[in-house]
Chains A and B, each alone.
Chain A
């Protein structure tokens, strides 16, 4: 079974600092996709960034970047210049190859709190 592990239940970061949220995954497939989602206190799930297993460069989207280390099976999210609005739950997810590489398998999430 595919598995996503997020080992940090909660993280604190000072405003304007960078923070790294950890994610490791377990799969025997060569082709897979990794996603990060943000869930603010309002509850919606917001797509942040995507990394394909064959992508040679780390994905970036504005202040979000993904530190993808394939050999270590890790896909850490880096948020630069943290803002108060970044306080939220963050979920790492992987496309599940056992179901045609379509639905997502989610980790349990990391709660990020940005301190002024």
Chain B
């Protein structure tokens, strides 16, 4: 029962470095999402995908890129990391408009 798996769980980046946050789901969900959660706040949508090959921007897409080459995987790419990207990142998936199921999160610090 893996569900949604995110790697890594923790990461420290230097300003200007880049990295990819991995997300994979084994529930055959067609929709996938990336959110970020800043301290004391709710989640904000970065990007989402309604199927392989289709992605769309959310509320806070600047500084990020995504791709969806398979149903299972939805990696999030950070280019030129900035301190403002220090946050907890959550990947989620759903079957169409049903409940979204979340991964355990990636805690990222940019110093």
Nearest B residue to A106, CB-CB: B42
**In B54-109, which residues have CB < 8 Å from any A CB?**
56, 58, 88, 90, 92, 94, 97-105, 107
Which of A50, A102, A109 is close to B31, meaning CB atoms less than 8 Å apart?
A102
Flag if A50 contacts B43 (CB, 8 Å): no
Flag if A43 contacts B48 (CB, 8 Å): no
Give the interface residue-count category, chain A: 20 to 34
Quote the shortest CB–CB distance from A19 to chain B (angstroms). Answer: 20
With A and B bound together, what is the CA distance between A100 and B45 in angstroms? 14
Nearest B residue to A1, CB-CB: B59
Q: Is A99 an interface residue (CB 8 A)?
A: yes
Given contacts A43-B88, A47-B99, A99-B48, contact A104 B104 (CB under 8 A): no
Flag if B43 contacts A95 (CB, 8 Å): no
**In A72-115, which residues have CB < 8 Å from any B CB?**
91, 93, 95-96, 99-109
Chain A contacts for B58, CB-based, 8 A: 99, 103
Q: Is B50 an interface residue (CB 8 A)?
A: yes
State the main secondary structure of chain B at its contact with A. Answer: strand
Q: Is A18 an interface residue (CB 8 A)?
A: no
Chain B contacts for A43, CB-based, 8 A: 88, 104-105, 107
Given contacts A44-B105, A103-B33, contact A50 B99 (CB under 8 A): yes
Quote the shortest CB–CB distance from A7 to chain B (angstroms). Answer: 14
Quote the shortest CB–CB distance from A44 to chain B (angstroms). Answer: 5
Q: Is B41 an interface residue (CB 8 A)?
A: yes
Flag if A103 contacts B45 (CB, 8 Å): yes
Q: Is B53 an interface residue (CB 8 A)?
A: no
Nearest A residue to B88, CB-CB: A43
Flag if B102 contacts A45 (CB, 8 Å): yes
Q: Is A25 an interface residue (CB 8 A)?
A: no
Nearest B residue to A44, CB-CB: B104
What are 11 A-B contacts defined by CB distance under 8 Å?
A43-B104, A43-B105, A44-B104, A47-B99, A93-B42, A93-B43, A95-B97, A102-B48, A102-B50, A103-B58, A108-B42
- Identify the 10 closest CB pairs spanning chains A and B, nearest first: A106-B42, A45-B102, A47-B99, A106-B43, A103-B45, A103-B48, A108-B42, A44-B104, A43-B105, A107-B42
